[in-house]
Amino acid sequence: MSLLTNVMDHSLDEGYAEAAARKQALGEGGLPPTLRAKVWLAVGLALAGLVVTVAAVQAQVTAPEAARDRQELIDRIERETARADRIEDDIDTLRADVGKRQREALKAHGGDQGELVALLSGATAVQGPGVKLVVDDAEEADQGGDGPRAGSGFADTGRVRDRDMQRVVNGLWQSGAEAISINGQRLTALSAIRAAGDAILVDNKPLVPPYTVLAIGDGQQVSSAFRESADGFYLQALKGNFGIRFRLGVEKEVRLPAAPSLIVRNAEPKAGKSTS
């Protein structure tokens, strides 16, 4: 009877009871692992869906405002561009009118030599025989060496400088050229060839190499005289020392545009009858 009584009082083995107590103390009880994973997955998906929904709502709210700002910016750019184009057209029209009046004044007050005055002043486009001189930087425009530019404030490079072009132009004038242009820019007695950094400016307009110099005159005579001049030898020295390239050839016909506008430096009132 004592055995039956012990079985009834202790139906669960003490070892199982201790194992169950340890699991409960460590927090391993409760939901099965697979069910817990499913719960956490559901919570994560819910949070992700909430974030996506909030982002979509915000994008939908801000999209019209961003599109409106962008369109306003585009419209402003187009308006300002059109305004700049109109101003540029007005400037070109006024410049052409001023040039026309200046050319008419030169012809009217030049007497029998009106055409010559217009030619020498650059007030009219000209064409005729002449020469074409193309001057370009060296293929590797960082060469060093000693030569005609040493000690003259020039860097020892293979780039064409403003003083190089000044000597070229002066040499062509001295060789008999009657009219000269550089890259389509007509030169006059008031033209200036200067530098701004590595750029060459002709009448404050930047030019880029190669520099094409057109000169009207007796082509063969101008070419021969320039080659034998000090400036021609200077150009040859630039080629030998710095690799600067140039080509000089005689042309049957070259065309030079008129100068954009001529600045009137001095003016005198026209003599009239006394009003006394």
Two tokens, residue 29: 């009880």
Confidence of residue 151 (pLDDT cuts 50, 70, 90): very low
The pLDDT score that the predictor gives to residue 150 is 46
- Assess contact for 185 and 207: CB atoms under 8 A: yes
pTM of the complete model: 0.55
Are 256 and 126 in contact, with CB atoms under 8 Å apart? yes
pLDDT band at 129 (very low <50, low <70, confident <90, very high): very high
Beta strands 211-216 and 126-136 are antiparallel
CA torsion angle 43 45 47 48 (round to 10): 160
Residue 201 DSSP code:
E
DSSP 3-state of 180: strand
Q: 3-state DSSP: the chain helix, strand, coil percent, rounded to 5?
A: 50, 15, 30
For 156, phi then psi, to 5°, come to: -80, 75
Can you give the pLDDT at residue 97?
83
Pairing of strands 185-186, 179-182: antiparallel
With 0-12 / 13-18 / 19 or more C-beta atoms within 10 angstroms meaning exposed / middle / buried, residue 236 is middle
Q: CB count, 10 Å around CB of 38?
A: 12
- Provide the 10 A C-beta neighbour count for residue 147: 17
198 and 207 Cβ atoms separated by less than 8 Å = no
- Residue at 11: amino acid letter: S
The mean pLDDT of the chain is 78
Sorting pLDDT into bands at 50, 70 and 90, what band is 154? very low
Tokens 């996506």, residue located = 52
- Between CA 139 and CA 149, with CA 143 as vertex, the angle to 5 degrees is 110
| Alpha carbon distance 218, 129 (integer Å) | 6
pLDDT 10s digits, 158-168: 889 999 999 99
